[in-house]
Structure 1
Amino acid sequence: MGASNASTTSDFTLVGLFSYTGPHLTLFFLVATMFTAGLLGNTILILLIATDSRLHTPMYFLLSQLSLLDVGFPLVTIPKMVADFLQGENTITLWGCATQMFFLMLMGVSEGVLLSLMSYDRYVAVCHPLHYQVLMRGQVCVVMVGASWFSGALVASIQTSITLQFPYCASHTVDHFCELPALLKLSCADTSAYELALSVSGVLILLLPLSLIFTSYGHVLGAVLRMHSAEARHKAFTTCSSHVAVVGLFYGAAVFMYMVPGSYHSPQQDNVVSLFYSLITPTLNPLIYSLRNREVRMALVKAMGRADFRAKR
């Protein structure tokens, strides 16, 4: 298709998830409730880890970064979606769309790498407990977190800059979020070579961290089964099962969205999956960790006790 068929407007139309009907209004309030609960839960978890000295450990430092990513993920998309619904507008500029796509990739890639590093932390804690303080010292944790954020920023910068080079046709309709697969479908140019490159990079971005996670938790499972103490076995299994649950939620949606060819899933399925990893997973993560980790529950009770004491004074 020639360049003459490219659209002259730089605005995109975001197909709204909500409409002014009963079921959609119910969905709107459900999304708003989950968005608020997710922000509140992750913010509380970050504050607890920062203020309670018992949570100043490598595992909880990495968990605070996961919560920070889970605060950012829904902020990239949900406020815009809600504002469009309330104002009756559904347009976004090209640069606004590029910004949304950049931060979605930044958060997504960073979280994927961080989850793999968290699995390594559990591997060291369970399989090499005597060397844990050395292998997971403060400098190492900072490097881990820096690597996760840097990898996310690098991938997002490259993918966004390349995507902006393509011409876009008269149809500028995007389903809900400005994501890379959705924008490529609107391009007038032949994107097959780029899509092939994306598939190859997807192996590195998704499957390499996932293989590290499987390897780490495979060793952890073997070590847990060999433990003689039932209490130690239960504690290790409880902590690691929380991590595995988060990994399953995040990577299940990411693999479906970016590794499964577009011909095998419909736009409606893409919409559900996008909403899943941009809203549902960030909301569930703090619940999974706080309900299953005794240290977090104790820190929360302690913080509530201090707040109650100050209120009575």
Structure 2
Amino acid sequence: MNIDSAGEIQAQHLHRSLVRLALADMARDYLCIRAKNQHGLSNIQVNQLHMGIILYGQQQIKLYSQQVNLSAGDLFIIKPDTVADTVNIPDPETGEYLTILLPMCEEVILAAQMIWAKPVTDKTDTILHFSINDFSPHLHEWQAALFEQDLVKARLCIAAILVQLCQQQCSDVLIVPPPKLSQQIYQWVFEHPQHQWQSSEIEARLGVSSATLRRKLSQEHSSLREIITHARLAYALELLYTNKLPMKTIAARSGYQSVATFRERFIRRYEVDPAILSLY
């Protein structure tokens, strides 16, 4: 067996193992995004560093100044504080679009910062594009650790990927943006979307007046109503991609009593009918 053939077999094995991970029915700290229909999404808000792995199909990610075309076997990194438009295209053979999307928690980034221990400057693009084969050993260990339910080892594997990126002149993946008030509120709502959030409760949690809250959010070009709506719709989007649930259930779990209201706001936000995503 020649070196090229051995490398191809290893690449196919890695791809199969990641597909198995994506389809596994187990507790996870990553998203398995599945779709049967080609569709586009606008105004996707990325609040933290993410790693994505395309397994079936293709994806186009568009920013104001950058467009990246991805296909099966590609790995991408998208930096925080980003708003992107995407087009997801199912694979013609499997009839499915399948992607693993991993939000990188701050603890993993801080661990990689300690290992790297060198100055970091922001000089690369918002989206970084690689092959899964570039990180083959770490990805093999990562998926094996997850199947073994060893979350500590899995996090160490992701930290190792970040360190490898630093070695490839992409150390700015370790930059953690300063915390924003809007993101703190967004996370509260995302974790409890069915809760009937009121301005008075948010103000009490933060220890600020109504005027101060409005002023601080205005400085971040946001408002409380926008944050609550965006967090609920982001939660709904995750449900649509990862669960076979009726639209009424998804709307209710996302904090909407009316399917019509949920659908109208979803379309306004993402410019796509949620029914297209729920047909899986």
Question: Greater CA radius of gyration, 1 or 2?
Answer: 1
> Which is helix-richer, 1 or 2?
1
Instruction: Name which structure has the greater RCO, CA cutoff 8 Å, separation 6+.
Output: 1
